Amino acid sequence: MSSENRLHFSASCSSPARRVLCVGAAVLDTLFRVRSLPTGQGKILPYDMLQVAEGMASSAAFAVARLGGHASLWGAVGEDATGERIIADLGNSGIDTSGMLRVAGARSAVSTILIDDQGERLIVPFYDAGLHDTAKPVTQQDVSSFDAVLVDVRWPKLALRTLSAAREAGKPAILDGDVAGEGVIEMLAPAASHIVFSQPAAERLTGTAELAKTVGLLKRKFEHAFISVTAGENGCFWFDDRSGKIVHLAAPKVRTVDTLAAGDIFHGAFALATAEGLPIAETMRMSSMAAALKCQVFGGRTGAPTRAEVCDALRGWSVGQQ
């Protein structure tokens, strides 16, 4: 390991705790582990199952907490038993849920997920449209105690207000650019300082499956922001604003058991590392390793690694950056 890498590694593993606000999805997931995903009609018998509260923002918040940060979540649940279970589960996982909204007359979000022996999944989610109909005002003061904010695309009204307040307060305003409804990304992106797209969302927005090309096209579209695309086992790509070049970081090689929430763990790690002020290359290494380690564990976001586990794995990772 070079002296420069040792310096960055030391920083990533010894930074003081930072506060990250996550805004968006809170879902009660039922995970079924199966030998293979179904291809037609019939009955399929799982050999393991787990119920856990997660969702993009919720899983990212859990990653922040596991990695040594202070995580707060603004999400919405119904005034029902499922909502109480979601809040209790997330609160017991070390996330500050005091900003959660309980919506009268709406049903809490639920999802059924099949995960096969190759770690791939089939997801059937349900979101009550009434959950995210309204959004409270968000001011600079509301976000002043946080070192970074991360929003997903599930609650666009609140996401936009939070990103805007964070930018006004001079805080990193990070958008999880996943597949969303028509016009949602275009509405949120101008308010973000950092956008980390999923591969499907990037392809949908640019009309190409060439990953490096998508980064360039997205940077031209949203030139004000840091732009990255995550691509699972194909690693991650980003536009380096200092050099003007597109950088590729290969993914760590792991035995994949469950890819559910891996992208969310990446986003949570990215938000925390950004809040800590780590160099972008180190931020991407830490985020990539956190996501990869999660993939080795069945259970969605419950597989998120600790900071010590990530740092141990980084010591032995010979990264290939292009």
At 209-265, the pLDDT tens digits run 999 999 999 999 999 999 999 999 999 999 999 999 999 999 999 999 999 999 999
Q: Which pLDDT value is given to residue 14? A: 67
Low-confidence ranges of the chain (pLDDT < 70): 1-12, 14, 319-322
Are 180 and 195 in contact by the 8 Å Cβ rule? The answer is: no
Q: What is the pTM of this model?
A: 0.94
Q: How does pLDDT run across 47-76, given as a tens digit for each residue?
A: 999 999 999 999 999 999 999 999 999 999
**pLDDT for position 1:** 43
Q: Rounded distance, CA 250 to CA 161, Å?
A: 35
pLDDT of residue 322: 45
| pLDDT for residue 156 | 97
Burial of 10 by CB count in 10 Å (0-12 exposed, 13-18 middle, 19+ buried)?
A: exposed
Largest Cα span, the chain: 58
